[in-house]
Amino acid sequence: MGQIVPWVMFAACLASLLGGLAWLASRARRSGVGREIMGPVDLIYRPHTHQINVEIRVQQERMVAMPSPGDPLTPGQDELGR
């Protein structure tokens, strides 16, 4: 019994560490932080991926919000054109 307890503790610590890293990775993926962290690695080892990420960032910055159905057609006008 005395030899099993350290191995069980080691397995529990390893499982909690891997679970925490998986949670952190999923959170970073959702928030988009991973691109900034992996940018230098992509630039060195996978330049095509770095170029793709730059294009994705440019496309995200270019997006224009679509007007809502009740918005006036031009600034300063209401729905009746006044």
Question: How do the pLDDT tens digits run along the chain, 82 residues long?
Answer: 778 999 999 999 999 999 998 988 888 777 767 667 777 777 788 788 778 878 888 888 887 777 777 766 666 655 555 5
| Residue 58 belongs to some domain of the structure | yes
- Structural contact between residues 42 and 53, judged by C-beta atoms closer than 8 angstroms: yes
Report yes or no on 21 lying in a domain.
no
Parent domain of 51 = 32-62
Domain annotation covers residue 38: yes
| Residue 82, domain member (yes or no) | no
32: region left, alpha or beta (phi > 0 left; psi from -120 to 50 alpha): left
15-24 LR contacts (CB < 8 Å, sep 24+): none
- Interatomic CA distance for residues 39 and 44, integer angstroms: 9
Question: What global pTM score does this model have?
Answer: 0.43
Does the residue 45 lie in any domain? yes
Look at residue 14 and tell me if it is in a domain: no
Residue spans of alpha helices (H) in 1-82? 4-31, 33-45, 47-62
- Domain membership of residue 44 (yes or no) is yes
Please tell me the total count of domains within the chain.
1
